[in-house]
Amino acid sequence: MSPPATLRVTSPEETEVEEGVVEQWTVQSAKTDDRLIINIYEQLHDTSHELGTDPGLIKDGVEADLQRLLAEQIELLGSGYSLIRREYFTAIGPVDILARDAAGATVAIELKRRGDIDGVEQLTRYLELLNRDPLLAPVRGIFAAQQIKPQAKVLANDRGIDCVTLDYDAMRGVDDSESRLF
């Protein structure tokens, strides 16, 4: 059964009580008619603890976090790099980061948590569009991600796009890579 699902706790029917059922749990899928019925025959221990206010789930290391950190530490791409803008809007969508390299050339940077061929294709479309703008051209691309699949690296290299693997923990100051042996 796939989520989302709801849990309903009910009292058993008379026939089930005769069989020794003390409580019945029904898990119902919200998307389908799938239903799981669990009969509880004996409850050995029941404890409840107040854990306080639910903070909710916070996803760490999302693409927006990578973008913010790389914009703050643009020199990770090389000395002399400078930030032009985060979320540089184009007619086909925003380029994650637009920067200048040490020679003053424009660089479009596409960020992903896990880099695959789709990300390289996306950056290729941005580069094609940006290179039509005489104020920006020539624009080269950097595909940056925490992990880059081998097929994506091959495609990027074939298209003249550089690949950079980002260490998210080091970027946010959690991992001191210089103090490690491995």
Q: Give the pairing of strands 106-115 and 162-165.
A: unpaired
Q: Whole-prediction pTM value?
A: 0.64
Strand order in the sheet with 5-10: 5-10, 23-29, 35-40
Q: With 80 as the cut, is the pLDDT of residue 57 above it?
A: no
Q: How many angstroms separate the CA atoms of 88 and 163, rounded?
A: 20
* pLDDT class of 63 with cuts at 50, 70, 90: confident
pLDDT tens digits, 31-50: 888 999 999 999 898 888 88
Q: With 60 as the cut, is the pLDDT of residue 156 above it?
A: yes
Mean pLDDT of the chain: 89
**Residue intervals in the chain for CATH 3.40.1350.10:** 63-171
Q: With 60 as the cut, is the pLDDT of residue 182 above it?
A: no
Neighbours of 53 (CB within 10 A): 6
Tell me the CATH number for domain 63-171: 3.40.1350.10
pLDDT given at position 58: 59
Q: With 90 as the cut, is the pLDDT of residue 157 above it?
A: yes
pLDDT tens digits, 82-136: 999 999 999 999 999 999 999 999 999 999 999 999 999 999 999 999 999 999 9
